[in-house]
């Protein structure tokens, strides 16, 4: 698959799950719960012990049924190891040119972290496939609408502090997707399944009609 195809698949549901756990077994259990609930895109944070092994196992077992990425990728060395482990996309909390170059060298999209309009423009110049607005906590979804009035070409993905309740507001404001961690995955399998089903339906309903909040969304249906 080309980078744009992977990006489109990773953001197709307008949400990707973030798995950040204290142990490998906990990460595997959380990923299994999310995938069983119908989430098709998730990142394993490299802050999780044996995160790359988890990426390899999930990618091998799931094939094209899900898009597994690596998160908290801070430098070129981590990016290369994540690619070698089978990560389909890379997510970083910061804007690092070498992470983007490394991912692109091997055909893997990179969602680079940004927090200001200046960083958004720099991320676009560096060719980031999506821009992770981090942290989103403390910001209102209207910030996205204000920024995209000037930068409608910016594919923004708010992450950090996004909840199932606020996620549709971010999409309605023009975000192409949201990243969500424990707010999505906490609870037993039945609870997570119900939450995920409700969230996916609400995100689909929140997508603006053509010509509204994000007419240039490169990953829309």
Q: Which residues form the catalytic set?
A: 43, 132
Candidates 96, 79, 176; CA nearest to 130 is 176
d(CA 123, CA 156): 11
d(CA 100, CA 81): 14
Burial class (CB in 10 A: 0-12, 13-18, 19+), 121: middle
Helix 51-62 to helix 76-85 angle (10° resolution) is 30
- Tokens of residue 103, six digits: 């991912």
DSSP at 70:
E
Residue 39 phi/psi, 5° resolution? -75, 130
How long is the chain? 221
d(CA 120, CA 155): 9
């Amino acid at each position: 698959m080309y980078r744009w195809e992977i990006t489109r698949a990773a953001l197709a549901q307008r949400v990707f799950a973030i798995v950040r756990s204290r142990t490998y077994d906990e990460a595997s259990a959380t990923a299994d719960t999310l995938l069983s609930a119908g989430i098709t895109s998730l990142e394993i944070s490299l802050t999780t012990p044996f995160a790359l092994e988890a990426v390899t196992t999930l990618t091998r077992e799931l094939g094209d049924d899900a898009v597994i990425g690596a998160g908290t990728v801070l430098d070129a060395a981590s990016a290369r190891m994540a690619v070698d482990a089978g990560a389909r996309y890379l997510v970083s909390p910061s804007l690092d040119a070498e992470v983007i170059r490394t991912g692109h060298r091997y055909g893997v999209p990179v969602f680079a972290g940004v927090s200001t309009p200046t960083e958004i423009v720099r991320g676009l110049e560096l060719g980031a496939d999506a821009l992770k607005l981090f942290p989103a906590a403390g910001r209102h979804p209207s910030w996205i609408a204000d920024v995209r009035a000037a930068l409608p070409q910016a594919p923004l993905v708010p992450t950090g502090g996004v909840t199932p309740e606020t996620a549709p507001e971010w999409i309605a404001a023009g975000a192409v997707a949201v990243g969500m961690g424990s707010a999505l995955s906490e609870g037993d399998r039945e609870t997570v399944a119900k939450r995920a089903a409700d969230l996916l339906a609400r995100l689909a309903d929140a997508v603006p009609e053509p010509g509204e909040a994000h007419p240039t969304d490169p990953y829309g249906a």
